[in-house]
Structure 1
Amino acid sequence: MTRATPTPRRPRAPASASQQRLDPIGGLAAWPLAPVVSAIVVTYAVAATISRMHEIVLIELAVVSVGVLMIAAAVLVWAARPDLAPFTRIRAIVIVALGLAAHLLAAASTWQFNGMIQDDFAPIGLGLLLLALAPFRPWKEILVLGGSSATVVGITALVQSPFLGVQTPPVLFAIIAMTQVLAPALASAAYSRQVVNSIHRWQTDARRAIRARTEESRGPLAHEVVDHRLTNLGADVLPFLADVLVRQELTAADIKRARSLAFQVRRVLVAEVDHTWLDDLIGRERIGLTDRGLDPLCVIADPDRRATAFDSDQRAAAGAMIVALCTLKGFDPTSLVVQIDGSGAAPTDTAQVTQAFGLRGSLPTPATDTTTIAIVTAAQEQASAQARTQARAQAQLHSQIQARRDDRDVDTITIQVVLSLPPHQRRRALRPYLSVLRAVFTRVRVTSRHALLTLEFNAERTTIKGIK
């Protein structure tokens, strides 16, 4: 009897993840939920208070209770705004605390004259506020806030039970009151958990597919790169080598010429290694601006190649922001400056080591004639393999020497651009992009001085055992 192979478990999203964090665009679509829920909460609170005027002893407390609940609803609408993303834990706690304060004030306003628990507006309003947190906060946090709120509401119902018009065991009153809060809170937590896990599984599968496709195309791409380089060499290097072979002698001028050609080839290849996704993006935008009849001057300052450490979400968000700036009306094509610096060590990438150059960042030095010949011979592959092996060995040695720690390095990207737009048009045009940036990066600062717009946001990198 053979045992069936167990199906591998699909990875679950981190407990701190939320829909807004994993899918910022989806978070934008969920924002209308906040004003709709807030309007329902305020309308129901006002209507319920007016219909229960005969039960209210202290009208002042009832008015204050409705006012506090209105403040909680207003805070929800403000906190869920796309341009203020992400929705932080402090905002959620403030909303729930205001809802609980409104509940206590409403209970005090009808003390000893409350006919029944079912028509109290505060528990239902608090439950709806918790329901509106589903797209913005993790499910465990919503569960904790809902459980804590339900406990306070249940205790309040127990205290009021001797004065209620229906004679029933006090525990039933507590259960009824707690259900009004727990039911929406559990629905909110279940929605958050399911949506977050679905998004995380989809993203994981997409990354695996991209990785598999990359591995499949690695071989053909390498041959294409070699063919492209050989084509470039054909203009100068190959005719020189053919001339040397025809003459069957090597003069001092030939050696000098060979060193010059080797230096030029090496400089080109090193420049290709230092090329990042940000350079490609700015290059495409330069071409687009030139096609529109403009004369662009887009500057990139990333000497440590920190752009290579950005993950796919960060690259997409930053790239979308840059593309949006270049397409806005009033954009000055000579004003775009993108700078990346950081507080930690520069990222390392041993997979991008080039032929016979060792670690990235090594200074190009003049080569001998044997180096020039090796570029177009079979020794090219062997030199490349040796360089990669040496780079990995040096990286492992560096990781063993450095102390083992789990630290965070911060890369800061700064974008400066001149936009000749009125402030309200500028805010309206950039609002959706800034909401995505705030959901992806840890800190986003927007500074506007007349036409000059400055965007600054941080990207955290985790350093584990000295390897980034």
Structure 2
Amino acid sequence: MTRATPTPRRPRAPASASQQRLDPIGGLAAWPLAPVVAVIVVTYAVVATISRTHEIQTREFAAAAVAVLIIAAAVLVWSARPDLAPFTRARAVVIVALGLAAHLLAAASTWQFNGMIQDDFAPIGLGLLLLALAPFRPFKEILVLGSASALAVGITALVQSPYLSIQTPPALFAIIAMTQVLAPTLGAAAYSRQVVNSIHRWQTDARRAIRARTEEDRGLLASEVVEQRLRNLGADVLPFLADVLERQSLTAADIKRARSLAFQVRRVLVAEVDHTWLDDLIDRERINLTARGLTPLCVVADPERRATGFDSDQRAAVGAMIVALCRLTGFDPTSLVVQIDGSGAAPADTDQITQAFGHRSARPTPATDTTTLAIVTAEEQQAAAQARAQARAQAQVYAATGSRTHTSSSKTIDTITIQAGISLPPFQRRRALRPYLSVLRAVFTRVRVASRHPLLTLEFEAERFQTKGTR
């Protein structure tokens, strides 16, 4: 019998992921849940307090309980605002702590005179606050906060059990009180876990499909690149080589011409390699602004090509923000500046480009150009081949020694600054850019917005983790 091939398990999202983190656009659609829950919590607290005036012995504690719960609801609404994304752990802890404080104050206001546990507003309000965290926080964090809150509520009910009007085992009161908190908590955790896993699986499948399509198109793209290079060479280089081969002799003018052609080819190749997705984006926006009858002057300052280290989500967020700025009413087409710098090493492909074409800041010297030397003499071509073989051997030795060393992860921070002049009132500008800023805050860290009319400055950071070998 042949053993059936096992079905590969679908990947699960990291435990620290949330819907807002994985799908910032979906997080925008989920944020109205916060104000709805806040209204329900505050309304129920006020109505329940008014209807239980005969049980309240300390009105100051009762008023303080309602006030603290209102503050917790206000913090929830404020924390869930799209322009303040992402919803941090500290905000969630503050909301739950305020809910617990309201519960303790409400219990103190009716101490020894509370008739039933079921009509207490604080446990239900606390459970609803935890339910509102579902789109914004990971499911494990919701479970921890909800379990701790339910434990505190159960202990409070257990202590109050001798003074309740119904005589039943104290543990039953604790279970009833804890259920009011645990039920919404479990619902929120289940929602967060299921939605996050679904989004992560969809993104994983989409990336696999894109990767497969890219592999299919790689051969076609390679052939197109080769044809384009041949066309470029056919204009100047190939006729020159054909003329040299036909004459079978080299003159001083030929050597000078070869050096000039080699330098031109090298310059074109370096320029094309240095072109990043950010340059392509700015070029498209220049074309769109020109089509609208404007004279754009959009500047990209990324000397170390750090934009190549951005992942797909970061590229999409930056691209959407730049496109939104360029299409705003009152945008000054001569004011857009995008600058990227940072601490730590640049992306790996920058090192490869530097090794292949030299440092961009250095002035090229035609006399040492390996392409020119290869054209001039066969002996120097052989020397260049030996040099390349030696470099490959050194790389293999380095890789062999590096495999015996342990790896350590170092964090590199890239700082992106976008400046643009926008002649719009501050309110209209904030309203137009609010969705894009919320996505930026969910994808990047430390997003800062500075506005000095008409100049708008956005500064945010992207973290990259690099693995280095250490002895």
Aligned to 2:241: 241
Letter of the 1:58 partner, please give it: T
One-letter code aligned to 2:210: I
Are the structure 2 counterparts of residues 68 and 55 from structure 1 closer, same or farther at C-alpha, using a change threshold of 3 Å? same
| % same residue | 78
Change (3 A) 1:357 1:301: same
Residues 350 and 388 in structure 1, CA contact (< 8 A), matched pair in contact too? no
Contact 2:130–2:146 (CA under 8 A) maintained in structure 1: yes
Contact 1:261 1:372 in 2 (8 A): no
C-alpha deviation, 1:430, in angstroms: 0.9
Q: CA deviation at 1:240?
A: 2.2
Paired with 2:391 and 2:213, the residues of 1 have a C-alpha distance of 22
SS state at 1:55 partner:
coil
Q: Write the distance in 2 (CA, Å) between the matches of 1:245 and 1:465.
A: 49
Tell me the distance in 2 between the aligned counterparts of 1:350 and 1:230: 26
1:425 and 2:431 aligned: no
Q: Which residue pairs with 1:62 in the alignment?
A: 62
> Once structures 1 and 2 are overlaid, which stretch shifts more, 49-58 or 94-103?
49-58
Task: Quote the residue 1:81 is aligned against.
Answer: 81
- 1:452 paired residue number: 455
Matched, 1:158 2:161: no
CA distance 1:48–1:86, shift in 2 (3 Å):
same
Superposed displacement of residue 229, structure 1: 1.3
**Is 1:438 the equivalent of 2:437?**
no
User: 389-398 or 441-450: which moved more?
Assistant: 389-398
Q: Distance in 1 between matches of 2:140 and 2:306?
A: 34
Does the residue aligned with 2:177 lie in a helix, a strand or coil?
Answer: helix
Distance of 2:328 and 2:467 partners within structure 1: 41
Deviation at residue 246 of structure 1 after TM alignment = 4.0
In 1, the alpha carbon distance for the partners of 2:270 and 2:116 equals 78
Cα distance between partner residues in 2 of 1:2 and 1:42: 64
Measured at CA, do residues 389 and 8 of structure 1 come closer, stay the same or move farther in structure 2, by a change above 3 Å?
farther
Partner of 1:291: 291
Contact 2:305 2:350 in 1 (8 A): no
- Identify the match of residue 462 of structure 1 among 445, 461, 465: 465
Tell whether the 8 Å contact from 2:276 to 2:305 is kept in structure 1 after alignment: yes
Seen in structure 2, the aligned counterparts of structure 1 residues 13 and 5 have a Cα distance that, compared at 3 Å, is: same
Residues 221-236 of structure 1 mapped to structure 2, 5 A cutoff? 221-236=221-236
Root mean square deviation, CA, Å: 2.7
Q: Distance in 1 between matches of 2:390 and 2:179?
A: 66
Tell me what 1:143 maps to. Answer: 143
**Where in structure 2 are there 5+ consecutive unaligned residues?**
none
How far 1:212 sits from its partner (Å)? Answer: 1.5
**Aligned letter for 2:61?**
L
Distance 1:139 1:311 in 2: 25
Unpaired segments of 5 or more residues in structure 1?
none
Instruction: Report the Cα offset of residue 399 of structure 1.
Output: 5.5
Partner of 1:126: 126
C-alpha distance in structure 2 between counterparts of 1:74 and 1:325, whole Å: 32
Which position in structure 1 is the counterpart of 2:202?
A: 202
Q: TM-score, normalised by structure 1?
A: 0.92
* 1:412 matched to 2:410: no
Work out the CA distance in 2 between the residues paired with 1:359 and 1:166. Answer: 85
In the alignment, is residue 324 of structure 1 matched against residue 327 of structure 2?
no
**Cα distance, 1:250 vs structure 2:** 2.7
CA 1:425–1:176 in structure 2 vs 1: closer, same or farther (change >3 Å)? Answer: same
Q: CA deviation at 1:393?
A: 4.5
Please state whether the residue corresponding to 1:332 is helix, strand or coil: coil
Matched residue count? 459
Alignment pair present for 1:112 and 2:115:
no
Give the CA deviation at 1:275.
1.1
| Distance in 2 of aligned mates of 1:211 and 1:387 | 34
SS at match of 2:456: strand
